Amino acid sequence: MYHDVSHLLSRLINGPTPLGRIFFSGVGGPIPELAWQVDFPRLEIVLEGEFTDAGIAETLRPWDALYVPAGGWNLPQWQTPAVTLSILFGKQQLGFSVVQWDGKKGHNLAKQHAPRRGPRIGSFLLQTLDEMQMQPQEQQTARLIVTSLLSHCRDLLGSQIQTASRSQALFEAIRDYIDERYASPLTRDAVARAFYISPNYLSHLFQKTGGIGFNEYLNHTRLEHARKLLKGYDLKIKEVAHACGFVDSNYFCRLFRKNTERSPSEYRRQYHSQLTEKKTTAE
């Protein structure tokens, strides 16, 4: 049954056995040899057996899940035969693989892909998981988020791949345009001009096709990059704001607090405090 990824996802979502513990593998620090690190977020879910992961210094058992953020790493140390489901959240598509470790080497039992399209539901859920790294003890919330993410993956995998409609294709092109130019002084009028459409139609397109307002999407994209800069670089708050397209750093701070319930400085301190505590525990 492990060859059917859709069936596996349904079992994880609706099966009699709920998800177990949700672990978070951090970023930063020296990366061990043979560790698996990629630029995109991943979910590793144990289906059978168990193994210890050097990235978190914990033993994962059936139905436990490990979330590895973009740029993070993990290093499974197999003790017994095991089967895992791995989901890679690439920018354009999802990658599913079921791997069996027989005690000596690994075997790919299944491999599938599904395009990421439509409203950015998956991106918002992944961003929430990134936030959950700071509160790993909130297991019930983490399980609900992971279950929602698995449901979203099943929907994408199970739906028929169809040629995008004209409005869908236009929306995707505008979204990519914003993703590449978020640091520029973008406005609704300027983006509409770039695609030879009216500002009102642009707003309609985002609401109807994306289920999100233009400014809401632009701010979300900018804040997403701001969080990465706060975690990985020792920049002044004003420098982070300007690097992400916010002209007014005070507005950036208000918007950041509204979305995270923390100021940029508090967010950075809490992240590094959690990272230091995690490293100390691992040592």
User: What pLDDT does 120 receive?
Assistant: 80
| CB 276 within 8 Å of CB 268 | no
Q: How confident is the model at residue 277 (pLDDT cuts 50, 70, 90)?
A: low
Higher pLDDT, 5 or 246: 246
3-state secondary structure of 233: coil
Q: Is CATH 1.10.10.60 the classification given to domain 166-273?
A: yes
| CB 147 within 8 Å of CB 63 | no
| CB 252 within 8 Å of CB 226 | yes
- Which has the closest alpha carbon to 274: 266, 110, 218? 266
E strand or H helix that includes residue 272: helix 264-282
Tell me how far apart the alpha carbons of residues 190 and 115 are, in angstroms, rounded to a whole number.
29
Residue 201 backbone class (left: φ over 0; alpha: ψ -120 to 50; beta: rest): alpha
The 10s digit of each residue's pLDDT in 32-58 is: 887 888 889 999 999 999 988 888 888
Q: What percentage of residues in the chain have a pLDDT greater than 70?
A: 92
Higher pLDDT, 149 or 170: 149
As a whole number, the mean pLDDT across the chain is: 86
Is the whole model's pTM more than 0.85, yes or no?
no
The 10s digit of each residue's pLDDT in 100-135 is: 888 777 788 888 888 887 668 888 999 999 898 888
3-state secondary structure of 126: helix
Q: Give mean pLDDT, residues 258-266.
A: 91
Q: Give mean pLDDT, residues 138-155.
A: 93
Q: Give mean pLDDT, residues 2-12.
A: 79
Spell out the domain ranges in the chain.
5-158, 166-273
- Does 244 have pLDDT greater than 90? yes
